[in-house]
Amino acid sequence: MRQWRIVYPNWGILHRGSNWGLMHYLITGGCGFIGSHFVRLLLAEDAQCEVSNVDLLTYAGREENLEDVIAVHADRYHFFKKDIADGAVMRGVFECGKFDAIINFAAESHVDRSISDPDRFVQTNVVGTANLVGLAREFNVARFIQVSTDEVYGSLQAEDESFTETTPLSPSSPYSASKAGADLLALAAHRTFGQDVIITRCSNNYGPCQFPEKLIPLMISRALAGEELPVYGDGGNVRDWIHVGDHCRGILATLENGKSGEVYNFGADCERTNLEIVREILKILDKPESLISFVKDRPGHDWRYAINSAKARNELDWSPKRDFGSGLRETIEYYRAER
Ligand SMILES: NC(=O)c1ccc[n+]([C@@H]2O[C@H](COP(=O)([O-])OP(=O)(O)OC[C@H]3O[C@@H](n4cnc5c(N)ncnc54)[C@H](O)[C@@H]3O)[C@@H](O)[C@H]2O)c1
């Protein structure tokens, strides 16, 4: 007998037909940092679903992130090494199976790389998302979740209120501009075609399996190797941190309870300056602060992000569970074991 571990209250169509098979999710970017945690969560939470993962395996994608999960769930996990920006190739993927929902994690995600190669970001983040939204509509996929970022809102001053879902978009970098473009294309598909599309915007994630170019894994890796820790400017830029597991539970709650056409912010009210983060890592590793080296600031470097996630907390029955201190120690242990 078919069992629904996940209930979709807004999705009448999914409850209607007994001819519907088990849920089949298309995850893009499932070998990356957040996507791999989400695939892991989905396979654990919905014991009967199928997951198809489309990932180009760029420098940021690692099949090893899912090795142990795939070994256990090989019968309901399918992998496609494909480029979401290639419409013809992606059409072939959609012809392979009937997907009930798409969760789009695939992206170029590093701000520094977007400054040196913006075209790649337009291709993957804008063209890739447009392809997926169009194919989802053509192939009658019931729900499309676009995983976005608080960086689309731009930068805050110290005294500003945190970002809400109605804060105007004001991206600063080619990365955040390409994510904002993708969000607007996805929302336009809802308004124009009535397509079931939801946007999630999350603050900075940390946790195991992140490619060591972003602040936390980079600083941990360099500190473990006894190398210099390069900090932009005076290290005063503020980021709002959330554990990747809390973000993934938020996306799952959006899939289950989110309202079509809406935007939901996710964050854990954990603002820290970059310098505070670096010092905390050095303290846990018992390394000297003399390893810190201040380097020329990144152009257009956003000063502060802070996110208000009251809407997700009130409407999606979601709240973050992990405290930063224990999450950071767990992350450090992961990178220590990886060496
Ligand atoms: N990391 C964060 O702090 C954070 C915060 C908020 C939102 N986000 C968003 O979450 C999503 C995932 O971020 P992440 O940190 O896991 O990124 P990541 O860079 O770790 O992973 C991206 C994945 O996408 C894949 N990919 C890249 N281009 C592709 C293409 N053209 N076709 C198919 N696959 C492709 C990569 O191989 C990789 O596996 C992104 O959309 C990002 O904007 C990230």
The whole-model pTM stands at 0.94
Multiple choice CATH, 12-204+244-267+306-322, 3.10.20.520, 3.40.50.620, 3.40.50.880, 3.40.50.720 = 3.40.50.720
Structure tokens at 209: 């399996």
Let me know: does 82 contact 90? Beta carbons within 8 Å.
yes
pLDDT at residue number 185: 98
* Distance (Å, whole) CA 214 – CA 206: 9
In the residue annotation, 117 being an active-site residue is answered as no
Determine which helix (DSSP H) or strand (DSSP E) holds 240, and give its type and residue range.
Answer: strand 238-243
The Å distance, Cα 270 to ligand 1 centre, comes to 22
Let me know: does 157 contact 304? Beta carbons within 8 Å.
yes
User: Is 107 near ligand 1, meaning CB less than 6 Å away?
Assistant: yes
The terminus-to-terminus CA distance of the chain in angstroms comes to: 46
Determine which helix (DSSP H) or strand (DSSP E) holds 22, and give its type and residue range.
Answer: none
Cα–Cα separations (whole angstroms), residue 153 to 172, 183, 197, 293, 306: 9, 12, 19, 29, 10
The Å distance, Cα 134 to ligand 1 centre, comes to 20
pLDDT tens for the chain, 339 residues long, are 223 233 344 443 333 223 344 899 999 999 999 999 999 999 999 989 999 999 999 999 999 999 999 999 999 999 999 999 999 999 999 999 899 999 999 999 999 999 999 999 999 999 999 999 999 999 999 999 999 999 999 999 999 999 999 999 999 999 999 999 999 999 999 999 999 999 999 999 999 999 999 999 999 999 999 999 999 999 999 999 999 999 999 999 999 999 999 999 999 999 999 999 999 999 999 999 999 999 999 999 999 999 999 999 999 999 999 999 999 999 999 999 998
The Å distance, Cα 34 to ligand 1 centre, comes to 7
User: Is 84 near ligand 1, meaning CB less than 6 Å away?
Assistant: yes
Whose CA is closest to atom 26 on ligand 1? 106
In the residue annotation, 175 being an active-site residue is answered as yes
pLDDT at residue number 159: 96
In the residue annotation, 151 being an active-site residue is answered as yes
User: Is 266 near ligand 1, meaning CB less than 6 Å away?
Assistant: no
pLDDT at residue number 275: 98
Which of 105, 111, 135, 152 most suits a substitution to test ligand 1, by most atoms within 8 Å of the C-beta?
Answer: 105
Structure tokens at 89: 């190739």
The Å distance, Cα 231 to ligand 1 centre, comes to 23
DSSP label at residue 207 = S
Which one of the listed residues 77, 153, 175, 335 is annotated catalytic? 175
Return the SS3 of 61.
coil
Which of 34, 81, 175 most suits a substitution to test ligand 1, by most atoms within 8 Å of the C-beta?
Answer: 34
In the sheet with 263-266, reading across from the earlier edge strand, the strands are 77-80, 50-54, 24-28, 101-104, 143-149, 197-202, 263-266
pLDDT at residue number 326: 97
Which one of the listed residues 46, 150, 246, 256 is annotated catalytic? 150
User: Is 179 near ligand 1, meaning CB less than 6 Å away?
Assistant: yes
Let me know: does 175 contact 114? Beta carbons within 8 Å.
yes
User: Is 85 near ligand 1, meaning CB less than 6 Å away?
Assistant: yes
pLDDT at residue number 22: 84
User: Is 149 near ligand 1, meaning CB less than 6 Å away?
Assistant: yes
Could you state, in order of their start, the residue ranges of all structural domains in the chain?
Answer: 12-204+244-267+306-322
How long is the chain?
339
Which one of the listed residues 151, 183, 246, 271 is annotated catalytic? 151
